[in-house]
Amino acid sequence: MPFRVIAGRFFCVNYSPDGDTIRFGPDNLSDLNHLDGVPAEVNRRDHASIRLEGIDALETHYERRHQPLELALRAHEELLGFLGIRNVVWDAGQSNVVLAGRWRPRLHHCQVER
């Protein structure tokens, strides 16, 4: 199965990432046009929502009575940690990231199925 490498960065500040979805901003927005399937939708910041295939993690932004927040946050922390994003600070309602830092240089590639 062929893949295409797209250079860019992952983003979580001012978003509600969870353990299976993150925002990605390609260095060259036109690279997204080379992907097969449904065209990628980008927001006004030129970020696309990336969902990990085959992963269904608990949501961080559901009400606590629906999904255990502790487990949802652990899944979220694992994904962000894998991407090198650390020191995540949530808003008071734990529904939006207000601050995050990186412990290593920017990620250079997002490999997506072509």
Dump pLDDT digits (tens) for 35-90.
Answer: 888 899 999 999 999 988 888 888 776 655 567 778 888 888 899 888 888 888 88
Please tell me the distance from the alpha carbon of residue 9 to that of residue 7, in angstroms, as a whole number: 7
Smallest Cα–Cα separation from 88: which of 2, 12, 6? 12
pLDDT at 23 over 70: yes
pLDDT at 107 over 50: no
Cα atoms found within 13 Å of the Cα of residue 42, Cβ hemisphere only: 14
Give residue-wise pLDDT tens across range 79-102: 988 888 888 888 887 778 898 886
